[in-house]
Amino acid sequence: MYGTLRGALAGRKIAFDRDTYKATVEGRISGIGKTIRIKSIHVHYDIAVPPEAREATERALQVHPEGCPAHQSVKDAIAVTWDATLRVGDQTIAVREAAAPPGG
């Protein structure tokens, strides 16, 4: 997902700070012994963009899971969520994924 989002930002020609762009990933597992199962994965992004790129960046964040082969491969078996700290000029904005529609 990290690379897919990076590509989405680059494709939209959004100037982002590549040195500070990062993602922190947390997973939850269940089971004991030899058999464990990944239950969920949560990705937190930290991105700095110029003020004029805020709306395009928020759109890229919302749609990037649909373009990510890894996300598409596991989404029916593992709950994958994301959120982001978006630094826009002097503002820090928390962005979360849109809620899935009922049944989807």
Strand order across the beta sheet in which 22-32 lies: 22-32, 35-49, 79-88, 91-96
Q: What is the pTM of this model?
A: 0.85
CATH architecture of 2-96: 2-Layer Sandwich (3.30)
Task: Identify the pLDDT of residue 100.
Answer: 57
Task: Identify the pLDDT of residue 17.
Answer: 84
Task: Identify the pLDDT of residue 34.
Answer: 84
Task: Identify the pLDDT of residue 66.
Answer: 92
Q: Using 50 as the pLDDT threshold, list the residues of the chain that sit under it.
A: 101-104
Residue-wise pLDDT for 80-91, tens only, equals 999 999 999 899
Domains of the chain, by residue range, sit at 2-96
